[in-house]
């Protein structure tokens, strides 16, 4: 039984990083219908930027993290402004190709700059310290990721629900033309959406980096986050979070009880099963095309 | 402009005498090619021809039927492993093993096509992506297929013809490639091909007109997977050694890049795109040896970037090409060609 709780606890920790990536993808998909494959690499760039500030320029943790958030905000906004907005009559496939292209560009730049080797990311909490709660061990970093993930979700909820900007984003997503007529600068909203999404991704990357810092580190979380977002329905923020935790728990239990070897693919097997029965994910209404 | 007056002018294989002429020139060039260039370039041509087969197959699915696949490396792996396993474990001759492996790949394509019936957009993307990742992981766990260590391709002979060198393989591969291209070109002019295009343009309208969506979508997946499987089976013999890591997600993305660069929904576009990208892929691996550019990149790496990561420039180039093509010319090289042709035909207007 203790083993079971241990698995759940570590699933919650892993699920937090999936949830953050899933949130980042859903934020963009909701507003602009773009499946952003560059999400992981945008986060990667922020992580390496922080690494550079800390290791090479000797910034303090607080200032480096704050600068990293600013950097990711600008990065997201610039990518939207410079690339996505320029696309001529984009269709879904075109947008996917563009984001994959951006992913490759960022990946190439980062690994050109820092090399493909694994680096050690300085972090105030060591990855191996852990505490014991009722017999289950949880590392401080896992606890921190869980807490921060919950915090980010709370902030996003408040932002979307109560702030004027969040309302404007919702309006843009529901009906861009009506939103424009109401005086909302929808293009600017789009840029800001990308910026916010990049910031959420940056949080995920900063929490992943102390464990592993190398150019491909965000592929796993990004793919799992994307799966989680699809599981949750791609358009709902709480759905994405729920999807992420469900995915992490199923994955961990499968790894613990059935087969550790195939743990990495159980997420995709689950996606296939869920999509078979609910083609729009668990928590979204199935969209039927009107003719 | 050449106006078409009859239906049969629209559906004929070669539009005009000019096209037949250039086709004959192309065939002649392909026959002469291995005797004019050194062995390395024959290898390059083999590599390109395989990518051409994949690109044609993928274009049937993505460009003509409008479905998205990020998992074609999975079908490619099934083709490669299937052919090698059927030959060395079961003992079938190559000429039976290759189509059989491709049929297995087509079977998987058919299976993937089923859930794809109800899915579109991001849902289909993650499904195919997951398929590609899962297949390579499962293959990597099967001991009889060599597991993580990979497999060596067995010796190849067809009716007593021993295929050893790149040149011999070229002689086998190019006719197959031409046949596959010809078949695809014919396929898109038939009822099936037009059903694909109808599904891409408006699936609901197509269904109303009597196109059986379930049948044609799964068929499209199966045919595309068959092409990719054939290419995979041949690829095993170009490399002579296969391992699961080869068939990564990057490979699937590169496949997609072929048809995006070449032009969605055009066989000729798929061929040019595949040739261009695979040539670039091979060239960028030794970009530092290029005169001038290599030196400049070297000094740039030393002062601002790192020397060890210099090879990652190939990602940047591939990514830039994908973004620029999609932003400025969504129809790819084929679109540029059409525009040029129109410009010269209506010149000076």
Per residue in A137-153, pLDDT tens? 777 788 888 888 899 98
Output the pLDDT for position A186: 86
Q: How many CB atoms lie within 10 A of CB B209?
A: 10
Interface check B204 vs A, CB under 8 A: yes
pLDDT in tens, B13-40: 777 778 888 888 888 888 888 888 888 8
**Residue whose entry in the numeric block shows the structure tokens 């109401």:** A182
Both tokens of A214, joined, read 């190398």
Alpha-carbon distance B8 to B23, whole Å? Answer: 20
- Percent of chain B at pLDDT > 70 equals 98
pLDDT at B56 over 80: yes
Region of poorest pLDDT, from A165-179, B137-151, B180-194? B137-151
Nearest residue in chain A measured CA to CA from B305: A113
Q: What angle do helix axes B17-36 and B39-59 make, rounded to 10 degrees?
A: 140
Which pTM value belongs to this model? Answer: 0.89
Interface check A264 vs B, CB under 8 A: yes
| 3-state helix, strand and coil shares in percent for chain B, rounded to the nearest 5 | 75, 5, 20
Q: What is the enclosing helix (H) or strand (E) of B291?
A: none
Q: How far apart are the first and last CA of chain B?
A: 13
Own/partner contacts of A77-86, CB < 8 Å, gap of 24 or more, are A77/A191, A77/A192, A77/A194, A77/A195, A77/A198, A79/A38, A79/A42, A79/A194, A79/A198, A80/A190, A80/A191, A80/A193, A80/A194, A80/A195, A81/A191, A83/B323, A83/B327, A84/A32, A84/A34, A84/A190, A84/A194, A85/A187, A85/A190, A86/B327
pLDDT at B79 over 80: yes
pLDDT in tens, A174-187: 888 888 898 888 88
Task: Give B266 to chain A, closest Cα distance, Å.
Answer: 16
pLDDT in tens, B126-141: 888 888 888 888 888 8
Alpha-carbon distance B33 to B27, whole Å? Answer: 10
Output the pLDDT for position A285: 67
Output the pLDDT for position B2: 58
pLDDT at B345 over 90: no
pLDDT at A111 over 90: no
Interface check B234 vs A, CB under 8 A: no
Q: Which residues of B touch A80 (CB under 8 A)?
A: none
Task: Give B72 to chain A, closest Cα distance, Å.
Answer: 15
pLDDT at B222 over 90: yes
Q: Which residues of A touch B141 (CB under 8 A)?
A: 261-262
Task: Give A13 to chain B, closest Cα distance, Å.
Answer: 23
Average pLDDT, integer, range B97-117: 89
User: Mean pLDDT over all residues of chain A?
Assistant: 85
Output the pLDDT for position A71: 92
Q: How far apart are the first and last CA of chain A?
A: 53
Residue B228: which of B106, B83, B85 has the closest Cα? B106
Q: Which residues of A touch B200 (CB under 8 A)?
A: none
Quickly state the pLDDT bin for A290 (edges 50, 70, 90).
Answer: low
Output the pLDDT for position A92: 80
Which of 142-181 (A) contact B at CB < 8 A?
none
Return the domain boundaries, chain B.
Answer: 52-247, 249-349
Interface check A220 vs B, CB under 8 A: no
Q: Which residues of B touch A96 (CB under 8 A)?
A: 68, 125
Output the pLDDT for position A200: 92
Task: Give A136 to chain B, closest Cα distance, Å.
Answer: 31
Output the pLDDT for position B100: 92
pLDDT in tens, B276-335: 999 888 888 777 777 777 777 777 777 777 777 777 788 888 899 989 988 888 888 888
Substitution target from A93, A282, A288 for chain B, most B beta carbons within 10 A: A93
Interface check A93 vs B, CB under 8 A: yes
Strands B156-158 and A130-133: unpaired
Cβ separation of B328 and A88 shorter than 8 Å? Answer: yes
Both tokens of B195, joined, read 């059903």
Substitution target from B315, B316, B320, B339 for chain A, most A beta carbons within 10 A: B315
- Coil, helix or strand at residue B302: helix
Which of 28-67 (A) contact B at CB < 8 A?
29, 35
Cβ separation of B319 and A262 shorter than 8 Å? Answer: no
Q: Which residues of B touch A90 (CB under 8 A)?
A: 326, 330
Task: Give A114 to chain B, closest Cα distance, Å.
Answer: 6
Residue A284: which of A235, A226, A224 has the closest Cα? A235
Alpha-carbon distance B269 to B185, whole Å? Answer: 12
Output the pLDDT for position B226: 94
pLDDT at B105 over 90: yes
Q: Where are the alpha helices (DSSP H) in B117-150?
A: 122-141
pLDDT in tens, A9-30: 888 888 888 899 999 999 888 8
Q: Which residues of B touch A264 (CB under 8 A)?
A: 133, 137
Both tokens of B65, joined, read 């039927």
Task: Give A69 to chain B, closest Cα distance, Å.
Answer: 23
Nearest residue in chain A measured CA to CA from B329: A88
Interface check B201 vs A, CB under 8 A: no
Average pLDDT, integer, range A118-124: 79
Quickly state the pLDDT bin for A74 (edges 50, 70, 90).
Answer: very high
pLDDT in tens, B170-186: 888 899 999 999 999 88
pLDDT in tens, A32-57: 888 888 988 999 999 999 988 888 88
Substitution target from A97, A114, A265, A284 for chain B, most B beta carbons within 10 A: A97
Cβ separation of B316 and A289 shorter than 8 Å? Answer: no
Cβ separation of B119 and A279 shorter than 8 Å? Answer: yes
Average pLDDT, integer, range A120-136: 73
Mean pLDDT: which of B6-10, B89-93, B319-323, B326-330 is highest? B319-323
Task: Give B165 to chain A, closest Cα distance, Å.
Answer: 35
Which of 131-160 (B) contact A at CB < 8 A?
131, 133-134, 137-138, 141
Interface check A245 vs B, CB under 8 A: no
User: Mean pLDDT over all residues of chain B?
Assistant: 85
Output the pLDDT for position A291: 60
Output the pLDDT for position A289: 61
Output the pLDDT for position B4: 67
Output the pLDDT for position A122: 79
Residue B249: which of B72, B54, B18 has the closest Cα? B72
Interface check A287 vs B, CB under 8 A: no
Residue B181: which of B259, B268, B250 has the closest Cα? B268
pLDDT at A215 over 80: yes
pLDDT in tens, B229-285: 999 999 988 888 888 888 888 889 889 989 988 888 888 889 999 999 998 888 887
pLDDT at A2 over 80: no
Q: What angle do CA A242, A160, A218 make, to 5 degrees?
A: 50
Output the pLDDT for position A7: 82
Q: How many alpha carbons lie under 13 Å from residue A73 in its C-beta half-sphere? A: 9
- Coil, helix or strand at residue A261: coil
DSSP designation for B61: I
Q: Which residues of A touch B62 (CB under 8 A)?
A: 93
- Say if CB A125 and CB A140 are below 8 A apart: yes
């Amino acid at each position: 039984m203790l083993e079971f709780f241990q698995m759940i606890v570590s699933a919650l920790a892993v699920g937090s990083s999936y949830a953050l990536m899933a949130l980042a993808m859903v934020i963009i998909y909701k507003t602009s219908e773009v499946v952003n494959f560059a999400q992981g690499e945008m986060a990667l760039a922020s992580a390496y930027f922080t690494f550079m500030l800390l290791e090479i320029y000797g910034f303090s943790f607080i200032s480096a993290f704050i600068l990293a958030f600013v950097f990711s905000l600008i990065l997201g906004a610039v990518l939207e402004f410079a690339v996505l907005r320029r696309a001529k009559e984009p269709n879904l496939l075109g947008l996917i190709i563009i984001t994959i292209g951006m992913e490759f560009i960022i990946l190439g730049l980062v690994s050109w700059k820092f090399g493909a080797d694994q680096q050690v990311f300085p972090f105030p909490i060591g990855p191996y310290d852990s505490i014991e709660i009722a017999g289950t061990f949880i590392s401080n970093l896992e606890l921190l990721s869980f807490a921060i993930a919950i915090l980010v979700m709370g902030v996003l909820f408040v932002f979307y629900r109560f702030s004027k900007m969040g309302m404007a984003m919702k309006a843009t997503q529901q009906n861009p033309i009506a939103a424009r007529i109401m005086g909302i600068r929808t293009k600017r909203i789009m840029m800001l959406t990308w910026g916010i999404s990049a910031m959420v991704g940056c949080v995920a990357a900063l929490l992943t980096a102390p464990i592993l810092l190398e150019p491909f580190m965000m592929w796993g979380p990004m793919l799992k986050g994307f799966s989680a977002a699809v599981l949750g329905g791609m358009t709902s923020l709480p759905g994405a979070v729920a999807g992420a935790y469900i995915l992490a728990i199923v994955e961990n239990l499968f790894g613990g009880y059935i087969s550790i070897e195939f743990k990495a693919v159980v997420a995709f097997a689950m996606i296939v099963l869920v999509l078979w029965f609910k083609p729009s994910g668990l928590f979204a209404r199935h969209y039927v095309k009107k003719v | 402009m050449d106006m078409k007056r009859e239906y049969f002018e629209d559906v004929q294989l070669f539009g005009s005498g000019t096209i037949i002429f250039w086709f004959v020139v192309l065939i002649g060039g392909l026959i002469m090619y291995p005797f004019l260039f050194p062995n390395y370039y024959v290898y390059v041509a083999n590599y390109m021809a395989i990518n051409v087969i994949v690109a044609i197959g993928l274009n049937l699915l993505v460009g003509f039927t409008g479905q998205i696949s990020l998992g074609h490396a999975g079908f490619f792996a099934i083709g490669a492993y299937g052919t090698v396993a059927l030959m060395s474990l079961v003992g079938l001759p190559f000429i039976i093993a290759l189509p059989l492996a491709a049929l297995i790949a087509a079977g998987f394509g058919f299976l993937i096509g089923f859930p794809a019936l109800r899915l579109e957009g991001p849902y289909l993307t993650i499904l195919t992506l997951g398929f590609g990742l899962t297949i390579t992981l499962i293959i990597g766990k099967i001991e009889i297929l060599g597991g993580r260590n990979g497999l060596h391709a067995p010796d190849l002979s067809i009716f007593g013809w021993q295929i050893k060198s790149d040149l011999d393989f070229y002689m086998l591969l190019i006719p197959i490639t031409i046949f596959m291209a010809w078949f695809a070109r014919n396929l898109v002019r038939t009822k099936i091909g037009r059903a694909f295009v109808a599904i891409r343009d408006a699936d609901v309208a197509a269904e109303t007109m009597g196109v059986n969506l379930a049948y044609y979508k799964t068929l499209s997946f199966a045919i595309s997977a068959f092409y990719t499987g054939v290419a995979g089976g041949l690829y095993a013999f170009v490399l002579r050694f296969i391992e699961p890591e080869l068939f990564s997600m990057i490979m699937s993305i590169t496949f997609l890049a072929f048809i995006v660069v070449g032009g969605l929904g055009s066989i000729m576009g798929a061929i040019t795109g595949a040739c261009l990208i695979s040539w670039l892929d091979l060239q960028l691996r030794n970009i530092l040896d290029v005169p001038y550019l290599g030196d400049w990149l070297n000094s740039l790496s030393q002062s601002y970037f790192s020397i060890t990561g210099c090879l990652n420039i190939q990602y940047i180039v591939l990514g830039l090409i994908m973004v620029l093509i999609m932003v400025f010319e969504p129809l790819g090289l084929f679109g540029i060609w059409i525009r040029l042709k129109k410009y010269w035909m209506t010149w000076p207007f």
